[in-house]
Amino acid sequence: MIVMKFGGTSTQDAAAMTNVARIVGERLASRPVVVISAIAGATNALEKIGALASQQKRNEADQVIRELLGRHETIVDTLIRNDVRRGELHAHLKDAARELGDLVHGVSILRELTPRTLDAFYAFGELLSSRLVAAVMQEQGLDAQWLDTADFMVTDEQHNRALPIMELVETRLRGITAPLVSDGKVAVTQGYIGITQSGRRTTMGRESSDYSAAVIGAALGADDIQIWTDVDGILSADPRVVASPLKVTELTFDEAYELSYFGAKVLHPNTMLPAIEKNIPIHIYNSRHPERSGTKVVAGRPDQEAIIKSIAYKHDAVLLTARPAKRYNQFVFWEHLFNILTKFGAAPGMIVTSEFSIGVVLDARKDMSSIVQELHVLGTIDLLEKKALLSVVGSNIKKCPEVVTRLMKAVGAIAVHAVSFGASRSNVSILIDDDEVEDAVRRVHEEFFGSRVQPGMFESAPLSAGSLAR
């Protein structure tokens, strides 16, 4: 059994959906369970509808609803010939229009968009796209069965960033899918969304459909978790920044985790966690070129040599430096500092310390003024804003201090505000000015991938135009 997850660009229109049905149809022997994201742009549109409603701009909200549902209608009318099926889908779209309208009405009266209500909006994206994909598959003769995540993807109550309760997901999902799979049916369900035990829709964080696929794969003991997207696999850098990155043929779970944690959008970082637990490989494939070999992510082998695999970057970083007031001893100070960061859900992407001060790199989108306000009681707080993290990820980097030298040489005159090396085997990170990060990524990529690369690890990646255009 395999899990196949298709992202928003793989389902964005009628042609893309037809393509998904074909790719799945060619892999029936592996008994696929299919996980679908919202069509490209839908999640943002739903967020906008909620925001407009909370500002009491109901007409504008209605307009966005019509546009969004219109895109789905076009797909139905283009692809669905069977009258019964087409009628059902139109009825679903009508229901969605009514339910979204009701939500907008409620939010505009209360003038407040809570995380729970936002999740109610978000859920429409995946519910609709997955129904369409299931219908398109049926239209092409596949025995597809639509599954609602409400029946199995049980999560905690942290709206917008819920986490699945694995034991419950596993029992429920196994109960539902076992008879389907043994009947040769293809289950089609939603990424990103879950349900609380009291029956409220949740979501698991933006871009988390990859994680959904891994959770489903782990729950079902899948042989493979396949992430189908719009690039050939994990590349040696973001193709929107570096003109022709190489494709990495294989990474370890740790490397893929660090790469996504440090900003590579191609996989959601959480994806690796269920896969590691059950030791299930993850493959990343290009839905526009399904014949290409993709990238394999598997458990690590103790590599002998140091290999640089990819360069990641992350905007919106802030370096917060704290110096304790004299009355604190250092241990108490650190404990307080981390307690406050934990309270605000602010996990440092990098930590640097000197004898009497500590610097933590935080996501600027966190509530920095509240964090700083609370920290002020501890001592002096400085903020360096508009920074970015650049990370070099690979195998055994820790063993190879030369990487740091080459990294510094490559960034040249670009100011480096902090460095982290050695805490993990697989990365070295530097903090630089935000407006220089793209340039720095290109220079560092040139340094490590420009001429001499390790044979066997990489393939050059012919990029589809779409990935560069976005």
State the residues that interact with ligand ADP by CB under 6 A. Answer: 7-10, 37, 207, 229-231, 234-235, 237-240, 264-266, 310, 467
As measured in angstroms, the least distance from the Cβ of 5 to Mg ion is: 9
Q: Residue 207 interacts with Mg ion (CB under 5 A)?
A: yes
66 contact, one of ligand ADP, Mg ion, none, CB 5-8 Å limit per kind: none
Secondary structure of residue 457 in the 3-state scheme: coil
For residue 230, state whether it binds Mg ion (rule: CB under 5 A): no
Q: How far is the CB of 355 from ligand ADP (least distance, A)?
A: 37
Q: Smaller CB distance to ligand ADP: residue 98 or 265?
A: 265
**Minimum Å distance from CB 117 to ligand ADP?**
25
Least Å from the CB of residue 466 to ligand ADP: 8
Q: Work out whether strand 295-298 and strand 250-252 pair parallel, antiparallel, or are unpaired.
A: parallel
Check if the beta carbon of residue 209 is closer than 8 Å to that of residue 267: no
CA dihedral 395, 399, 400, 401 (to 10 degrees): 130
Rounded Cα–Cα distance for residues 215 and 362 (Å): 28
Within the chain, what is the greatest distance between any pair of CA atoms?
Answer: 77
Residue 317, C-beta contacts closer than 8 angstroms, at least 6 positions apart: 349, 361, 362, 363, 364, 387, 388, 389, 431, 434
Indicate whether 119 belongs to the interface with Mg ion (CB under 5 A): no
273/384 with CB nearer ligand ADP: 273
> Residue 10 or 252: which CB sits closer to Mg ion?
10
Instruction: Please name which of 396, 389, 381, 395 lies closest in space to residue 444, comparing C-alpha atoms.
Output: 389
Residue 235 contact, options ligand ADP, Mg ion, none, Cβ 5-8 Å cut-off depending on partner type: ligand ADP
Toward ligand ADP, which CB reaches closer, 170 or 232?
232
Q: Of these partners, Mg ion, ligand ADP, none, which one is at the site of residue 310 (CB under 5 to 8 Å by kind)? A: ligand ADP
Q: How far is the CB of 285 from ligand ADP (least distance, A)?
A: 10
Give the HSE-up count for residue 87: Cα atoms under 13 Å, Cβ half-sphere.
3
Position closest to ligand ADP via CB = 7
Q: By 3-state DSSP, what share of the chain in percent is helix, strand and coil, each rounded to 5?
A: 45, 25, 30
Complex with Mg ion: residue 7 or 348, whichever CB lies closer: 7
For residues 40 to 79, the per-residue mask of contacts with Mg ion, x marking binding by CB under 5 A and - elsewhere, is ----------------------------------------
- DSSP secondary structure, 30-92, as one string: G-EEEEEPPPTTHHHHHHHHHHHHHTT-HHHHHHHHHHHHHHHHHHHHHH---HHHHHHHHHH
With CB under 5 to 8 Å by kind, the binding choice for 231 among Mg ion, ligand ADP, none is ligand ADP
Helix 402-411 to helix 437-449 angle (10° resolution) is: 130
Q: Give the separation between CA 183 and CA 192, rounded to whole angstroms.
A: 27
- Quick one: 145 or 287, whose CB is closer to Mg ion? 287
Name the residue nearer to ligand ADP (CB basis): 207 or 258. 207
β-strand partners of 359: 321, 352
Q: What backbone torsions phi and psi does residue 78 show, to the nearest 5 degrees?
A: -75, -40
Residue 219 and residue 173 in contact, taking contact as beta carbons nearer than 8 Å: yes
Tell the smallest beta-carbon distance from residue 430 to ligand ADP (Å): 17
| Nearest distance from C-beta of residue 205 to Mg ion, angstroms | 11
Binding mask 151-190 for Mg ion (x = CB under 5 A): ----------------------------------------
Residue 300 Cβ vs Mg ion, minimum distance, rounded to whole Å:
24
> Which residues are near Mg ion by CB under 5 A?
7, 207
